[in-house]
């Protein structure tokens, strides 16, 4: 990728979402799509926080600001804990030279999932039409496929290794969400 714009401007985040979508549509390879360094990891982490705020505005209006603050806390903890655990696993597996090549696209595919999944959830909340939930299932499987493919291709390991990392990230995210949401007496879901 040319340039090293690690900003969080709307134009930059839009560009990175577009790039991720072109990767997820199979129109662009992961290699050369992202900056692969520590600032790019932090950019993806902070972008996830911005996207969480965007998709939580309506639920926060209807349920209170505590929902927004709790979701932001869960999001930040889940992403940072996942990144730290993945770094440890990759270092122990002899893949320290592939850490950023894996983490940056992994986080951006997660960000696209968060943005579009949150948009669908808001449509469901506003319309009260659960038939839109089918879109969430499709988005989930599409995201898991790309997380798996990034793990397999970027790390050069088999699909089971990639599957284990995806499973671990889901367990971390879900576990923190259930724990924190139960502590502040907000229903999970």
pLDDT for position 68: 81
Q: What per-residue confidence (pLDDT) applies to 2?
A: 47
The dihedral built from the CA positions of residue 36, 83, 157 and 164, taken in this order, carries a sign that is: negative
Residue 188 has pLDDT above 70, yes or no: no
pLDDT tens track for 150-174: 999 999 999 999 999 999 999 998 8
Mean pLDDT of the chain: 90
Q: What's residue 58's pLDDT?
A: 80
pLDDT above 50 for 131: yes
Inter-residue long-range contacts of 70-73, CB under 8 Å, 24+ positions, other chains counted:
70/180, 70/181, 70/184, 70/186, 73/180
Cα separation of 27 and 81, whole Å? 31
Contacts of 70 (CB under 8 A, 6+ apart): 180, 181, 184, 186
pLDDT in tens, 68-122: 888 888 889 999 999 999 999 999 999 999 999 999 999 999 999 999 999 999 9
pLDDT at 185: 59
Res 35: pLDDT? 93
pLDDT at 186: 54
Under 8 Å CB-to-CB from 7, ≥6 apart: which residues? 43
């Amino acid at each position: 990728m040319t340039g090293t714009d690690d900003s969080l401007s709307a134009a930059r985040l839009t560009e990175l979402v577009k790039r991720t979508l072109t990767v997820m549509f199979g129109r662009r390879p992961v290699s050369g799509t992202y900056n692969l360094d520590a600032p790019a990891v932090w950019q993806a982490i902070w972008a996830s926080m911005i996207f969480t705020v965007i998709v939580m505005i309506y639920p926060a209006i209807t349920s209170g600001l505590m929902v927004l603050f709790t979701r932001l806390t869960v999001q930040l903890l889940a992403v940072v804990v996942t990144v730290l655990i993945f770094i440890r696993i990759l270092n122990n597996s002899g893949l320290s030279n592939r850490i950023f090549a894996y983490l940056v696209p992994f986080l951006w595919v997660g960000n696209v999932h968060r943005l579009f999944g949150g948009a669908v959830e808001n449509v469901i909340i506003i319309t009260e039409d659960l038939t839109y939930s089918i879109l969430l299932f499709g988005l989930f499987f599409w995201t898991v496929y790309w997380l798996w493919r990034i793990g397999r291709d970027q790390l050069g390991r088999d699909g089971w290794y990639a599957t284990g990392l995806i499973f671990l990230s889901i367990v971390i995210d879900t576990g923190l969400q259930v724990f924190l949401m139960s502590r502040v007496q907000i229903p999970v879901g």
